[in-house]
Amino acid sequence: MSEIKADLLKQKDNMVHCISADCKASQGIADQMVKKGLIGREMLQSVHPEITDVISTTYPGRTIYNLVTKSNYKSLCDALTTLKKVILRDRIKTLSIPKLGCGLDKLQWYRVKQMISYIFKDSD
Q: What angle do CA 64, 33, 65 make, to 5 degrees?
A: 20
Residue 47 placed within a domain: yes
106 labelled catalytic: no
Expressed as residue numbers, the domain containing 106 is 12-120
Residue 85 placed within a domain: yes
Render pLDDT for 37-94 as a digit per residue (tens, 0 to 9): 888 888 888 888 999 999 998 877 889 999 999 889 999 999 999 999 999 999 998 8
Residue 41 placed within a domain: yes
Residue 7 placed within a domain: no
pTM, to two decimals: 0.90
Render pLDDT for 91-120 as a digit per residue (tens, 0 to 9): 998 899 999 999 888 999 999 999 999 999
Residue 2 placed within a domain: no
The C-alpha atoms of residue 101 and residue 107 are separated, in whole angstroms, by 5
Query: Looking at residue 43, which CATH number applies to its domain?
Result: 3.40.220.10
Residue 1 placed within a domain: no
How many structural domains are present in the chain?
Answer: 1
At residue 14, the pLDDT reads 93
Q: Mean pLDDT throughout 2-25?
A: 88
Q: Which of 13, 31, 70, 84 is catalytic?
A: 70
105 labelled catalytic: yes
Residue 98 placed within a domain: yes
Q: Where are the beta strands (DSSP E) in 9-109?
A: 15-19, 54-59, 62-68
Strands 54-59 and 62-68: antiparallel
**Does residue 17 register a pLDDT over 90?**
yes
Burial of residue 16 (CB within 10 Å: 0-12, 13-18, 19+) is buried
